[in-house]
Chains A and B, each alone.
Chain A
Amino acid sequence: MMAIHLDRVRKTFGSHVAVADLSLAIPRGSLYGFIGPNGAGKTTTLRMIVDIIRPDSGTIEVLGERDPAVIRTRIGYLPEERGMYKKMRSLEFVAYIGMLKGLRPADARDRAASIIDRFGLGDWGNATVDALSKGMQQKMQFAATIVHEPDLLILDEPFSGLDPVNIEAIKDEMLAYRRAGRTVIFSTHMMEHAERLCDALFMIHQGQKVLDGPLERIKSNAPRRAVRLSCYGDAEFVRHLPYVARVREYGQELEIFLVAGSDPQQLLADIVGKVRVTTFDISEPSLYDIFLEMAGVDRHERIASDGSLQVAGAAPPLSAPGAPMVPGPGDTPESAPPGSGPGEVS
């Protein structure tokens, strides 16, 4: 069962293509991360899912429905730019959103009060919004997002501007939602949040999907191009090897980044005999590395929708077992058959 199914969705603003023929399927019950640099199209995609803006073409199905009016009451949406009525009492605001989501007035008020209590803001319900601190406002806004217990929670940059304590509180809520079998989607540009929270993620860059699928598959399929090396002897020569992009030094340890398409085994072969190796660790790339690589470092690379990396014109990385054979340079997602990805994610 899919919580969200986008099929060749396209949105342009003037001549700017915000989202280009995006197909995406998000299974129910997942905690799904949208990552990408600023301006990549994350917010536009989320806004189209909650029907704040409409796509130019393509179809969007949310919780099995095509008609946005039907599913609005089942979605909770936290926009990136937080906003509340400044002169409204905060409890009233939370209850008001609950009513707009279809709760009866008395229910809305009760639930708003209990959520505000749970967030430790029970004393602030009668204060007007502008009397609240920024952190409190953010929590109130989150309370308004979940007051109607939505089946689908969509959070655009939920952690921005929050202190660590509140970040934990929001994370707990998100995890509780997932445990209850509901779907949570959130966008972030902070990789560590995505890396620690998500079951699966979707990466977008310049309006195009570069990656989506379960987190472990993305990580295991990513090229292992970082090597941690500890050794005795002068390893300076490593810097000058043709396939080494850069070297980061940590006292007793070196982190060596290889250029795209090169094989860590080659490095091992080249250093054996010159220095005495104590550790040679082909580490799993962090999401941050993958992100950087996808987002800008090397734009000739794309990841297919099944999560496997496809490197144009280069040998497949041996350290990525299960990666398909290298397709031709033209076989990037732009020319890949649309809709090939979504169903294969779960």
Chain B
Amino acid sequence: MQRVYRVAQREYLAYVRTRTFLVSALALPISLLLAVALPVLMESMPKPPRTFTLIDETGRYEAAVVAGLMQEGAAQGIAIDSREYRYVSPRQLDLPPNPVSQRWMLEGAVRSGELFAFFRISPGAKSLCELNYFTADPSAEGLARIVRRVVNRIAVREDLLPLIHDEGLLTRFIEGVPLKTHAVTETGGEEATIAHVARAYAPMAFVYLLWLSVVMMAGHLMTSTIEEKTSRVIEVLLSSVSPFEFMLGKLIGLAAAGMTMILVWIGSGFLAFTAVQNQTMHQIGMGIASGFSGVTAFWFLGFFFIGFLFFASLFVGIGSVCNTIRETQNLTQPIMFVLVIPLILMPFVTNNPDHIIVVIASFFPPFTPFVIMNRIPASPPAPLWQVVLAALLMVASTWLMIRAAGRVFRIGVLMYGKPPTLPELLRWARQSG
């Protein structure tokens, strides 16, 4: 066991000191930092305000609408999505009296960029009036929504006040029925925030991390095994430790390195979410954190470690029978295919954690860690017996996988030349050694 530890220690240090590890460990925090910093930067950069104007062909609403827009802040600029929209009176634009040439001229101004947009209130056939929005960028709906709200309020009030006479009633009419969303949690009903969304998707993020680290480790594991083989250092090692001890040490060392990477990621994520004085980011961070109780964290780390070992032993077995990375491709392709499935299933699992297919997938070892990690904090959460059964199945199948890989490793690592076919590999894996 001490020898396994020595091998694990060397493998761990050898991997952690590689440039690949450093780059991978830093890539996520850096991109996270950029994601946080970029919007802040963009907000702080001054942008010229966009201007718009409004023409009232009915002649009934203009004054009230302009007053309403001023209330929204249109004189200094209405802030929408970090842009400012400023109202310009049509009188400042020196427009011709003829509506057709007016429109022609305004469209020209929009086209040239002088104006961002203009609105035209015209009499409606069945409605009170019609609001037309002319812009070069119809996807910018924020401004149109605000203007519509103002025009709607004014027009409805103008037309209904003579009939209802009750200002309060009228206001309630116009505002309509309010909608408030509540998230039901263990602590009771709270108003839904982005924190709740973050919490629901946190396990998914964790599963992606497992997936990423498995895929990244696979390359390193196969390269290092092939290097040991082609540099013939393997013979010296195998005269000192048994192939099984050696392989086990290698797997444990790399699993520890994989977990180190995850911890670096989680740690830097935690720092980013707490350090940044951004309300939204902070809420997301709190949401993720609230999703992980001690028990959940225990299951996650456990499933992460065992899931990592499961796939790592597959890859180390493949690495041991190949002499170049190119040779590994034929054998890794089916594994990659299997690995992609839980990734595709992920949103389905999050949304239907108790679906029969999801429950079955929880007990299929290659999918188990990915699926069950999503189900533990889901609502409804996976029953404890299912989690325990999945854990037992996973431990057993990982043990079998390591033993089979050990048998293949023992033969493969001293074999040079053409890699074996899949049937040959399976025969080796079944042989007792």
- Residues of A participating in the B interface, judged by any CB pair closer than 8 Å: 47, 50-54, 68-69, 72-73, 75, 77-79, 81-88, 96-97, 99-102, 141, 144-145
Contact = CB atoms under 8 A, between A and B. Distances in A.
Contacts of B241: 72, 100
B106 to A, nearest CB: 70
Contact of A81 (B14, B232, B238, B239): B232
B237 interface: yes
B163 interface: no
Given A79-B232, A85-B14, A100 B238 contact: no
12 contacts: A53-B414, A69-B242, A85-B228, A86-B231, A97-B236, A97-B240, A99-B6, A100-B3, A100-B240, A101-B240, A102-B2, A141-B236
Nearest to A77: B239
A72 B240 contact: yes
Interface string B1-31: 0110011001000100000000000000000
A101 B245 CA distance: 13
Given A85-B14, A99-B6, A100-B7, A52 B414 contact: yes
Contacts of A53: 414
A96 B14 CA distance: 12
B57 interface: no
A73 B241 CA distance: 9
Contacts of A82: 232
Contacts of B3: 100, 102
Contact of B236 (A69, A88, A99, A144): A144
A96 B228 CA distance: 15
A96 B239 contact: no
Given A54-B433, A72-B241, A100-B6, A77 B236 contact: yes
A86 B226 CA distance: 13
A92 to B, nearest CB: 9
B14 to A, nearest CB: 7
Interface of B: 2-3, 6-7, 10, 14, 227-228, 231-242, 414, 433
A31 B241 CA distance: 25
A102 to B, nearest CB: 8
Nearest to A154: B239
B240 A84 contact: no
A112 to B, nearest CB: 14
B238 A52 contact: yes
Secondary structure dominating the interface of B: helix
Contacts of A47: 235, 414
A73 B239 CA distance: 9
B417 to A, nearest CB: 11
Nearest to B232: A83
Contacts of A85: 14, 228, 231, 233
Nearest to B415: A13
B427 to A, nearest CB: 13
Interface hub of A52, A81, A97 (most chain B Cβ within 10 A): A52
Given A75-B239, A83-B231, A83-B234, 13 more contacts: A51-B242, A53-B414, A54-B433, A73-B240, A77-B235, A77-B239, A78-B236, A83-B233, A83-B235, A85-B228, A86-B231, A88-B14, A101-B240
Contacts of B414: 47, 52-53
A83 B240 contact: no
A143 to B, nearest CB: 12
3 shortest interchain CB distances as A-B pairs: A83-B232, A83-B233, A77-B239
Contact of B239 (A72, A87, A88, A102): A72
B236 A79 contact: yes
Nearest to A78: B236
A100 B231 contact: no
A172 B14 CA distance: 35
A56 to B, nearest CB: 12
Contacts of B227: 86
Nearest to A99: B6
A47 B235 CA distance: 9
Contacts of A73: 240
Nearest to A73: B240
B315 to A, nearest CB: 20
Contacts of A100: 3, 6-7, 237, 240-241
B235 A84 contact: no
Nearest to A68: B242
A83 B226 CA distance: 13
A77 B10 CA distance: 20
Given A54-B433, A100-B3, A81 B240 contact: no
A84 B231 contact: yes
B235 A52 contact: yes
A72 B231 CA distance: 22
B242 A83 contact: no
Nearest to A104: B2
Nearest to B229: A83
Contacts of B238: 52
A96 to B, nearest CB: 6
Nearest to A145: B236
A52 B231 contact: no
A101 B237 CA distance: 10
Nearest to A75: B239
Contacts of A144: 236
A141 B239 CA distance: 13
B235 A81 contact: yes
B108 to A, nearest CB: 68
Contacts of A51: 239, 242
A29 to B, nearest CB: 21
B433 A83 contact: no
B6 A96 contact: yes
Contacts of A101: 240
A84 B233 contact: yes
A72 B242 CA distance: 9
B233 A52 contact: no
B162 to A, nearest CB: 88
